[in-house]
């Protein structure tokens, strides 16, 4: 087995793993913690791999499973620390984007989506996973991927198009 | 029945947005969008949304990877942990297929087992911690007995070795000793600078480890630079910035190369 190849494939995936974790958790530090745990777990499981194929989907699967068990732990905790809204929401934006209402609204709206829709949207739209790969990563049927994608996109559209009206109104005033 | 006449499914609109629609369905979907401007507007919004999401998170992926997520570091940490847990880790690592990892990290070196480097560095650091902390007798033979020490260590290592001279770098030679490792005897040479920072140079003959370029190893309290040259393992250890340690390691390596 070409471990050498797997390791360099894993390394290539780290930026994408950080991007997905950041978009999902909305907090840079939590995101890097998740990526760290994912990489450690991947190294633990390295010997179970047969070849270099699908390293990316494999890593996203490991990370998704860690994320889900993290969510479960947080849910079993008493109230407080809501998972949805976060003060770090805008941290994922570049400084020049912060002034850009469109981006800020979009990320804020994304954060209001249920996590199931958010993860599908991110895996497909941002990480370029195929529908089948996304289904494998999330452990759901491909039909569920499609319906979550459709619902997520439509809700996101309604939320952002609703908000885009505001600047127009200001201009009129 | 041609594919063209099949009604357009919502899934196909998303496949169109994601650029994974089957080529033969492309014309039908395009025609459908032309005939249904309201749906075309919605699909256009999805396309814009997809592009905006990619843009919004682009920066994160373009950033340099933080050191704690560096794969090399994670593997090294793992190796040193395993080595501590079980001296036979080398066998396990080979079993796991991790033996090949060395080649990747050492970028085309002779790829000795990474556990060998971990063992070498661990032994160097252990001896460094024990003897540099000793106020009264950090060395077995002091600076004045340089030649005696060189003879003694060379005999026990069955390999000609003399303490490198680092005085030009501001490190004066304090002396050295024979040290113990799981792989047999090693030589340890100790130095100190004007700030009383102690540096040790560790030499350990290894069996069939070939060569490996200088690599950084970090432990809880000190850092080290370890390398292997024709079956002899070397480590420079000190509580110094990595760049400084690396510079000293290069000098030490050149001196050993010149004498052997």
Residue-wise pLDDT for B216-226, tens only, equals 887 767 888 99
Please answer whether residues B215 and B104 qualify as being in contact, where contact means their C-beta atoms are separated by less than 8 angstroms.
Answer: no
Tell me if chain A has a CB within 8 Å of the CB of B38.
Answer: no
Q: Are residues A14 and A32 in the same domain?
A: yes
CATH number at residue A149: 1.10.10.10
- B81 touches A: beta carbon within 8 Å: no
3-class DSSP state of B46? helix
B80 or A166: which carries more pLDDT confidence? Answer: B80
Q: Do A76 and A29 share a structural domain?
A: yes
Task: Indicate whether A58 and A110 sit together in one domain.
Answer: no
Per cent of chain A over pLDDT 90 is 51
Where a domain ends, among A36, A60, A87?
A: A87
**Which residues of chain B are within 8 Å of residue A93 when distances are taken between CB atoms?**
56, 59
Residues in chain A: 173
Contact B71 A39 (CB under 8 A): yes
Chain A CA closest to residue B60: A19
Q: What is the mean pLDDT of residues B20-49?
A: 94
Q: Is the pLDDT of residue A78 over 70?
A: no
- CB atoms near residue B142 (< 10 Å): 16
Mean residue pLDDT of chain B comes to: 83
Contact B104 A4 (CB under 8 A): yes
Mutation pick from A7, A14, A37 vs chain B, by most beta carbons of B within 10 Å, is A7
Is the pLDDT confidence value at A84 over 60?
no
Which residues have CB under 8 Å from A50's CB, separation 6+? A1
| pTM of this structure | 0.56
User: Which of A72-86, B50-64, B130-144, B183-197 is predicted with the least confidence, judged by mean pLDDT?
Assistant: A72-86
Looking at the fold, whether A83 and A101 belong to one and the same domain comes out as: no
Residue of B71, B73, B79, B92 best to disrupt the A interface, most CBs of A under 10 A: B71
- Going across the sheet that includes B212-218, the strands are B141-142, B172-181, B184-192, B198-205, B232-238, B223-229, B212-218
Kindly tell me if the per-residue pLDDT of A22 is higher than 60. yes
Checking if the pLDDT of B12 tops 50, the result is yes
Q: Give the per-residue pLDDT at B230.
A: 87
Which one of B5-14, B77-86, B197-206 scores highest in mean pLDDT?
Answer: B197-206
Distance CA B3, CA B13 (A): 15
Residue A155 sits at the chain B interface (C-beta within 8 Å):
no
Does pLDDT of B45 surpass 60? yes
Residue A87's pLDDT band, with cuts at 50, 70 and 90, is very low
pLDDT of B233 over the 70 cut: yes
- Asked whether the beta carbons of residue A15 and residue B66 sit closer than 8 angstroms, the reply is no
Interface of A with B in 22-81 (CB under 8 A): 22-23, 32, 35-36, 39-40, 43, 46-47
Q: Which two tokens stand for residue B221?
A: 């309290």
A95 vs A162 pLDDT, higher one? A162
Give me the number of domains chain A comprises.
2
Query: Concatenated DSSP letters for B32-60?
Result: HHHH-HHHHHHHHHHHHHHHHHHHHTHHH
> At which of A87, A116, A144 does a domain end?
A87
Residue A46, pLDDT score: 75
Which of B41-55, B82-96, B130-144, B164-178 shows the lowest mean pLDDT across its residues?
B82-96
| Percentage of the residues of chain B whose pLDDT score is greater than 90 | 54
Q: Do A100 and A172 fall into the same domain? A: yes
* pLDDT for residue A51: 64
pLDDT given at position B90: 39
Min Cα–Cα distance to chain A from B11, Å? 6
Domain boundary among A36, A71, A87: A87
A166, exposed or middle or buried, with CB in 10 Å at 0-12, 13-18, 19+? exposed
Q: Answer yes or no: do A74 and A138 share one domain.
A: no
Same domain, A80 and A108: no
- Residue B24, class by beta-carbon neighbours within 10 Å (0-12 exposed, 13-18 middle, 19+ buried)? exposed
Contact A54, A68 (CB under 8 A): no
Does the structure's ipTM exceed the value 0.95? Answer: no
Ramachandran area for residue B89 (φ above 0: left; ψ -120 to 50: alpha; else beta):
alpha
In this predicted structure, which of B86-100, B101-115, B142-156, B221-235 has the lowest mean pLDDT?
A: B86-100
pLDDT of A170: 42
**Could you tell me how far CA B215 lies from the centroid of its own chain?**
6
**Residue A40 belongs to domain with CATH number:** 1.10.1740.10
Shared-domain flag, residues A72 and A16: yes
What pLDDT, on a 0 to 100 scale, did the predictor assign at position B150? 95
Asked if A149 and A167 sit in the same domain, the reply is yes
Mean pLDDT across A151-161: 92
Do the Cβ atoms of A156 and A121 come closer than 8 Å? Answer: yes
How far is the C-alpha of B190 from the C-alpha of B141, rounded, in Å?
10
Q: What is the pLDDT of residue A14?
A: 95
Structural domain harbouring A82: 1-87
What is residue A103's predicted lDDT score, i.e. its pLDDT? 75
Chain A residues close to B20, C-beta within 8 Å: 130-131
Same domain, A70 and A117: no
Asked if residue A61 lies in contact with residue A136, where contact means CB atoms within 8 angstroms, the answer is yes
pLDDT score recorded for residue B107:
37
Which residues in B lie closer than 8 A to residue A130 (C-beta atoms)?
Answer: 20
Compute the nearest-CA separation of B232 from chain A (Å).
Answer: 25
Say yes or no: A48 and A107 in one domain: no
* Same domain membership, residue A129 and residue A99: yes
pLDDT at A173: 39
Q: How confident is the model over B186-207, as pLDDT tens digits?
A: 999 999 999 899 999 999 998 7
């Amino acid at each position: 087995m070409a471990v050498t190849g797997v390791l360099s494939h894993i390394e290539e995936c780290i930026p994408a793993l950080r991007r997905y974790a950041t978009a999902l958790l909305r907090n840079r530090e939590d995101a890097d913690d998740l990526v760290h745990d994912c990489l450690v777990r991947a190294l633990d499981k390295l010997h179970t791999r047969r070849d270099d194929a699908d390293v990316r989907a494999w890593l996203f699967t490991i990370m998704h499973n860690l994320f889900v068990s993290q969510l479960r732990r947080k849910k079993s905790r008493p109230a407080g620390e809501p998972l949805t809204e976060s003060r770090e929401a805008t941290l994922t934006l570049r400084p020049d984007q912060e002034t850009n209402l469109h981006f800020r609204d979009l990320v804020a709206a994304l954060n209001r989506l249920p996590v199931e829709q958010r993860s599908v949207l991110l895996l497909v739209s941002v990480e370029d996973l195929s529908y089948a790969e996304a289904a494998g990563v999330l452990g759901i049927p491909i039909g569920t991927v499609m319906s979550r994608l459709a619902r997520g996109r439509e809700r996101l559209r309604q939320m952002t198009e609703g908000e885009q009206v505001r600047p127009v109104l200001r201009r009129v005033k | 029945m041609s594919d063209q006449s099949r009604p357009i499914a919502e899934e196909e609109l998303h496949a169109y947005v994601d650029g994974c629609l089957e080529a033969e369905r492309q014309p039908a979907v395009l025609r459908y969008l032309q005939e249904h401007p309201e749906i075309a507007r919605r699909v256009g919004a999805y396309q814009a949304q997809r592009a905006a999401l990619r843009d919004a998170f682009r920066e994160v992926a373009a950033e340099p990877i933080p050191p704690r997520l560096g794969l090399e570091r994670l593997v090294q940490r793992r190796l040193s942990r395993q080595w501590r847990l079980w001296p036979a880790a080398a066998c396990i690592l080979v079993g796991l297929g991790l033996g090949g990892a060395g080649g990747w990290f050492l970028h085309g070196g002779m790829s000795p087992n990474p556990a060998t480097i971990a063992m070498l560095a661990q032994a160097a650091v252990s001896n460094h911690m024990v003897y540099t902390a000793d106020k009264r007798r950090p060395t077995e033979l002091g600076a004045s007995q340089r030649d005696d020490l060189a003879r003694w260590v060379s005999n026990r290592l069955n390999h000609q070795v003399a303490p490198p001279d680092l005085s030009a770098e501001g490190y004066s030679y304090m002396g050295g000793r024979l040290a113990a490792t799981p792989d047999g005897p090693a030589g340890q040479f100790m130095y100190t600078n004007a700030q009383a920072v102690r540096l040790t140079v560790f030499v350990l003959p290894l069996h069939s480890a070939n060569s490996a370029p200088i690599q950084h190893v970090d432990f809880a309290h000190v850092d080290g630079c370890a390398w292997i040259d024709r079956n002899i393992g070397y480590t420079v250890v000190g509580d110094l910035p990595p760049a400084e340690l690396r510079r000293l390691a290069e000098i030490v390596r050149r001196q050993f190369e010149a004498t052997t």
